[in-house]
Amino acid sequence: MDGVAGVVLAGGRSTRMGSPKAELVWHGSTVLRRVIGIVARAVDGPVLVVAAPGQRFAALPMEVEVEVVHDPVEGRGPLQGLAVGFGPAATVPSAAAIVLPTAPPPLHPTVARRLAPAGGIPAPAQAAALWSLEQGERLVARRRAAAAGERRRLAAALAGTPVSFADGHGHLVWLASAEDDGAALAARLAAQKVYVAPGSAWGDERHVRAALRDAAATDRLAAALTGP
């Protein structure tokens, strides 16, 4: 299909299977060769195979244009694979990219070609994904640090009270009271216009879930829990 490149994500560890899926033999060929063949017949651009650092493949098809690119760091999942694959793909004059894992569900090239206009990833979406992947690590680290700070502030405010929460990460905390069950605690907070999610929705009658979205939210929650 005109203006479409192909990306095959082949750098997974295959820990559940115990051996690399890409090298499994299937109908006289490897799974990776089969997927490359499907993608190559569905696109007009190159097929970019994303591998783990140092990963080598026994044999790749010679009849199609295949470029192997490697993740810079191992174990960071398919999002990094997309970033690595979109990098070279972005240099190709393609309007979209078809992305497949090493072991996709049964897919015929004709189906892939017909899906490409709707199921392909267009160039603007590729650019947005690349920006997100490049900026995401820094933004996530900043948000985690902010959440950790709010958790520490709330823990300090609740010290010596019947209310506590377990250690954890992120801006969601599971609160429990030695005096109230989850429903009573949620009702007490709602009466002060502080709204939390009762743990009963998750089968936990003792806890409520609260969000520490910012310093003001933490202050409101702490005041409602420690006030009269």
- The CATH number assigned to the domain holding 172 equals 3.90.1150.10
**pLDDT in the model for residue 174:** 94
For residue 108, being part of any structural domain is answered with: yes
Return d(Cα 82, Cα 89) in angstroms, integer: 10
Q: Which residue, of 119, 153, 181, is where some domain finishes?
A: 119
Residues 114 and 10 in one domain: yes
In-domain check, residue 134: no
Q: Is 110 exposed, middle or buried (0-12, 13-18, 19+ CB in 10 A)?
A: exposed
| Residues 115 and 12 occupy one common structural domain | yes
Query: What pLDDT, on the 0 to 100 scale, is given for residue 96?
Result: 56
pLDDT of residue 72: 76
How confident is the model at residue 51, as a pLDDT?
Answer: 84
Q: Is residue 133 part of a domain?
A: no
Give domain status of residue 40, yes or no.
yes
Task: State the pTM of this model.
Answer: 0.48
Beta bridge partners of 55: none
Q: Residue 45: which domain range?
A: 4-119
Count up the domains in the chain and report the number.
Answer: 2
Kindly state whether residues 109 and 153 are assigned to the same domain: no
How far apart, in whole angstroms, are the C-alpha atoms of residue 57 and residue 12?
A: 13
The answer on 112 and 83 residing in a single domain is: yes
pLDDT at 130: 63
On whether residue 44 sits in a domain, the answer given is yes
Strand partners, 163: 177
> Looking at the structure, do residues 194 and 115 belong to the same domain, yes or no?
no
pLDDT digits 0-9 by tens, 4-14: 677 888 877 66
Percent helix, strand, coil in the chain, to 5, is: 45, 20, 35
**Residue 14 domain flag:** yes
* pLDDT the model gives residue 3: 60
Placement of tokens 């502030």 in the chain:
153
Residue 8's domain is classified under what CATH number? 3.90.550.10
97 shares its domain with 148: no
Residues of the chain with pLDDT under 70: 1-4, 13-20, 76, 79, 86-134
Q: Are residues 115 and 178 in the same domain?
A: no
Contact predicate 226/159, CB 8 Å: no
DSSP letters for 57-125: -S---SSS-EEEEE-SSTT-HHHHHHHHHHHHHHTS--SEEEEEESSPSP--HHHHHHHHHHHSEEHHH
Asked whether residue 164 is domain-assigned, the answer is yes
* Final residue before a domain boundary, out of 88, 119, 150: 119
Strand order in the sheet with 207-211: 163-165, 172-177, 207-211, 197-198
Query: 89 and 14: one domain?
Result: yes
pLDDT at residue 1 in the model: 46
Asked if residue 206 is part of any domain, the answer here is yes
Those residues with Cβ within 8 angstroms of residue 120's Cβ, 6 or more apart along the chain or in another chain: 4, 96, 97, 98
pLDDT tens string 132-160 = 666 777 777 888 899 999 999 999 999 99
